[in-house]
Structure 1
């Protein structure tokens, strides 16, 4: 071998060794030693209560509780474009949960998406948001979770194809998309706005649902809060791309987040119903702060947008006469919907004017199809809207005719396309939901979260 050949070979070897070392440094994370599960009395009661409120803001029970299962025991299937990922057991069970996790291990999972054993976690666990959570709030969350009832619930095997079923691959995703930084307050804004920004970008992880994702499953930073897809529901745009017929303001957002409905906007359904159910148990100031921040994200309406909203409100208060066209959709609407949506009846039987419904004005008919099929369940102990579901009384063709009629009559938007397929998809999704979801989404928040620590 010539001298030049030896130099080239040596150079290639150095590059390969350096590349291997770099890849190892990116992928490898050490095991954090196991601990004995801490005794519940080791945590201060006030700290546990604070952690309970934070867990409600983070909607932890929604993803970590399967329908009919034990609280926080995991096993909920999360469908993704890459396969199904099952949520983990976050009770303090020593064998199958996080009972042997130290607080350092818990914080690493929240900040870096790595479990106690050094395995990378899939970003269905939204650590790209949780990295913004403060040490103090992580401490309170840890205290709350470590004082829950331990549940023996082994993890379910994820259903993901190669190579994404190899966890080291996730480190590459993190290298591209994970930014490890805590929230930095904006000195030019109020304390309330900053509190809302901290919660929305961090623990509440609102963008995880309300922001579209790229081909690799990361949120598109150039389309923040422009709307997203979750559980066969459209998470509406929260920025200036909102299709709400009447612009939102902080007061309307506060009422909606606190109670789950607003007379000028409608009722929270789908995954959002569980979000507002959890928010009903947290401090009032936190809900108000979220509303203030989100109202700022959506921005003040333009004069034209404001006039359109006022005109829509006037139309809703003095509804137009129904179309005399003898269509299947008009007939179904008159028999099944008009008595609640056009008679100004008080709650719980009075329905929001459909001219005010974002579901009707949305570019996608999924949410309206979901609501008509499943209805709206009463919230225990509250005077809230209710609506029967029509899944068993209306077939797909009739449902499609109804949705098309409602769209044409109550919105100024063009007709939807593919409505019948949307209805079919909604039926399948709701059947899967009944098998795998947490407790009814319009029910009060997890009783364990409401109890005194």
Structure 2
């Protein structure tokens, strides 16, 4: 009898807790605004919204390759299944054409849509809480003046029970940072502006910070490196593996131009970022660079000295390249008999040892973060799928070698690059990684070098 009573009490408490949980997370529907999509917005406000949408890289996630801009439907793979981005054009039936500005702001700050449904944090509202009222107004004006597109995204395909959106209340309680950014009075106005753009609308940490088992950013390893669309987003803190340390000047140049002579060309999802940032004024680019450089911190004396040596050797458009410089990190053992040496000589050396300056020449691998990174996925992607050209304009380009080299040959080539141009330990499991990348088991999104037009996914991979 006591046992049954205890069970009854526990079940009652569980029901009460569940009801309380749902009540905490319940959000009412915001009435539709049938005039929103036809309202008139000042041109300067729309232009400002365009710049802000570029900072947020909104078009990248909310556009399916080959389809209308902002119409949604892009599959977003996660460890918990596949999400599909939503239509954010002002279509009244399938988009946000009936959303009031209040509904838009709630989505940005609370991750809740107009109808009261919780949004999945693949939409980085945990960063967008920092967006000011003024900037939200401009973003809203920009989106409401896009071409309406009638398009419904496919249903999300998530593991049970994550289809039940009220569960996101728990995620929000644990990880959602509420409230606007509080300026750091000890830092400059430029630094605070950069922090606002990078940590807020720019949501840099969404890619460049590792995630925990709940899919939230690991705040103990801020900017410590993450993953996006089959690419490694490199660490952009003190643990950066860039052979030449980044500076404010080099970050600003890279963000503005999509390349830097000592760091190479942006590729993968980062190509979209640098492509979209072209709309920003130089002052905002500089502010982001100032903030990110401060997070990276001052390099160690040893790393700084090595970077200066590499800069003397490879700076000035490669005009100072010497035989010694080409073998900056060459191991003491003779690598001439390495199985990847002949492949490198035939496929890579002509471009990567030519001294032809960036962005059209191949970066010498002594400068390559990909070759020095702990995870070889990026260099696998580049070798397999190349760097497609930009659409209708001069751009960096690299051929894909996935159809010319088999899995073992690619692995041999990468092992040689690591041994010759890096002082890091050898990668393991390369052949298996190449095979899974080729087959699509590890899906990779391949982009043109300008980042604006997406190249076909899995270029050269077996279907």
Given the two structures, how large is their TM-score scaled by the length of structure 2? 0.89
Query: Out of 198, 212, 237, which is 2:235 matched to?
Result: 237
Instruction: Name the CA distance, whole Å, in 1 between partners of 2:441 and 2:64.
Output: 15
SS in 1 for 2:227: strand
Alignment of 1:183-262 (within 5 A): 183-262=181-260
Distance 1:184 1:386, change over 3 A: same
Cα distance, 1:392 vs structure 2: 1.8
Does residue 350 of the first structure (1) align with residue 361 of the second (2)? yes
SS in 1 for 2:201: coil
- Is the CA contact (8 Å cut-off) linking 1:347 and 1:384 kept in structure 2? no
Instruction: Name the CA distance, whole Å, in 2 between partners of 1:426 and 1:10.
Output: 53
Cα distance, 1:417 vs structure 2: 0.4
Distance 1:42 1:361, change over 3 A: same
Distance 1:9 1:405, change over 3 A: closer
- Is the CA contact (8 Å cut-off) linking 1:65 and 1:73 kept in structure 2? yes
The corresponding residue for 2:386 is: 375
The corresponding residue for 1:442 is: 450
Query: Out of 407, 414, 417, which is 1:403 matched to?
Result: 414
Query: Out of 302, 305, 308, which is 1:304 matched to?
Result: 302
Alignment of 1:270-419 (within 5 A): 270-314=268-312, 316=314, 317-320=321-324, 325-347=336-358, 349-379=360-390, 384-419=395-430
- Deviation readout 1:168-225 (Å, 9 max, x if unpaired): 1111111111121111111111111110000111000000000011100010111100
The corresponding residue for 1:451 is: none
Alignment of 1:51-62 (within 5 A): 51-62=49-60
Structure 2: state its 5+ residue gaps.
315-320, 328-333, 455-463
- Deviation readout 1:19-76 (Å, 9 max, x if unpaired): 3553232121000001114355610000000000000000000000011111001111
The corresponding residue for 1:182 is: 180
Instruction: Name the CA distance, whole Å, in 2 between partners of 1:423 and 1:120.
Output: 38
Cα distance, 1:405 vs structure 2: 0.6
Cα distance, 1:445 vs structure 2: 7.5
Cα distance, 1:283 vs structure 2: 1.6
SS in 2 for 1:359: helix
- Is the CA contact (8 Å cut-off) linking 2:256 and 2:277 kept in structure 1? yes
- Is the CA contact (8 Å cut-off) linking 2:130 and 2:179 kept in structure 1? yes
Q: Count how many residue pairs are aligned between Structure 1 and Structure 2.
A: 440
Higher relative contact order (CA 8 A, sep 6+): 1
SS in 2 for 1:30: coil
Instruction: Name the CA distance, whole Å, in 2 between partners of 1:37 and 1:441.
Output: 40
- Is the CA contact (8 Å cut-off) linking 1:231 and 1:429 kept in structure 2? no
Distance 1:9 1:169, change over 3 A: closer
- Is the CA contact (8 Å cut-off) linking 1:232 and 1:429 kept in structure 2? no
What RMSD in Å do the two structures reach over aligned CA positions?
Answer: 2.6
Distance 1:296 1:440, change over 3 A: same
- Is the CA contact (8 Å cut-off) linking 1:37 and 1:94 kept in structure 2? no
- Is the CA contact (8 Å cut-off) linking 1:400 and 1:423 kept in structure 2? yes
Instruction: Name the CA distance, whole Å, in 1 between partners of 2:199 and 2:68.
Output: 29
SS in 2 for 1:25: helix
Instruction: Name the CA distance, whole Å, in 1 between partners of 2:323 and 2:375.
Output: 24
Instruction: Name the CA distance, whole Å, in 2 between partners of 1:431 and 1:365.
Output: 13
SS in 1 for 2:36: coil
The corresponding residue for 2:318 is: none
- Deviation readout 1:111-163 (Å, 9 max, x if unpaired): 00001110100000000000111111111000000000011111211011211
- Deviation readout 1:388-440 (Å, 9 max, x if unpaired): 12122222111111111111110111110011122123224499556xx8x74
Alignment of 1:57-206 (within 5 A): 57-206=55-204
The corresponding residue for 2:460 is: none
- Deviation readout 1:60-119 (Å, 9 max, x if unpaired): 000000111110011111111110011000000000000011110000000000011101
Distance 1:181 1:40, change over 3 A: same
- Is the CA contact (8 Å cut-off) linking 2:270 and 2:451 kept in structure 1? no
The corresponding residue for 1:427 is: 438
